[in-house]
Amino acid sequence: MLRGLLFDVDETLVYYEGYDHREWYEGWVLPELRKRGMGLDYETYRKTVTGELPRTYVERFGVDPVEFWKTVDKANLKYRIEAAEKGKIKAFPDVNALKELKRRGLKLAAVSNASQDCVEFVLDLFDLRKHFDAVFGKDYSNLDGVKPSPYLIQKALKALGLKPEEAIVVGDSYHDVLAGKGAGVKVINVTRFGKVEGADYYVEDLTELIELVKKIMGSQSP
């Protein structure tokens, strides 16, 4: 029985106009890291984000991982605040689907690799947080628990009181697929930016998601 949906946030519910990962890192993050003697070249940083290297990798340079990621996340929040002021953070036009999904009695959680502050900032920017029963960003007590690890998905399931078979993960990336599968949860891939292999279902947008959810819930009716 489907009782809840666990949503990724960035590129699933909202997007950043003109965003370039390398430019963001070298323009916003790297200067703040260097101020604290923690400079890390872009390629190494990128590998910690893609999962090729653990998020705790900076330990080998004598850098405290929690301090490192808190610095990254503070820079990211500054970036988001400025981007929002310039109107460069956009909600996808179909995010009203969240209201309809709640109306159908589903529990909703937002699960992101960004920091809690960054996640809540963009949700509040578009008045989306009210739709969610739980919101989870990066957990500094388990830095390597970010997606593709199932850790944050498992936290969300516990918070919502759901079993893995009662929920579906909704996201745009391969990390969402791996995290969901690792937690024993089915995954819906939103293919706005291309199809990701390994998902259980595919939808082009959140309007199509509503129709899929109706079918899934309808098939469960006695």
Residue-wise pLDDT tens digits, 175-206: 999 999 999 999 999 999 999 999 999 999 99
- What are 135's two structure tokens? 């919101």
What pLDDT is stored for residue 102 in this prediction? 97
Is a pLDDT exceeding 60 seen at residue 1? Answer: yes
Is a pLDDT exceeding 60 seen at residue 60? Answer: yes
By C-alpha distance, which of 131, 122, 120 is closest to 96?
131
Percent of the chain with pLDDT strictly greater than 90: 97
Q: Is residue 71 within 8 Å of residue 140, measured between CB atoms?
A: no
Residue-wise pLDDT tens digits, 63-85: 999 999 999 999 999 999 999 99
pTM of the model: 0.96
What pLDDT is stored for residue 221 in this prediction? 59
Residue-wise pLDDT tens digits, 83-108: 999 999 999 999 999 999 999 999 99
What pLDDT is stored for residue 222 in this prediction? 57
What pLDDT is stored for residue 220 in this prediction? 76
- What are 147's two structure tokens? 């997606």
- Residue keyed to tokens 């963001």: 24
Percent of the chain with pLDDT strictly greater than 70: 99
Cα radius of gyration rounded to whole Å, the chain = 18
* Interval 154-173 mean pLDDT: 98
Q: Which CATH architecture has domain 4-15+90-219?
A: 3-Layer(aba) Sandwich (3.40)
* Interval 151-176 mean pLDDT: 98
Amino acid at 155: K
In whole angstroms, what is the distance from residue 197 CA to residue 63 CA? 36
What pLDDT is stored for residue 219 in this prediction? 87
Domain boundaries, the chain: 4-15+90-219, 21-85
Q: What is the dihedral of CA 94, 95, 97, 100, to 10 degrees?
A: -140
pLDDT band at residue 215 using 50, 70 and 90 as cut-offs = very high
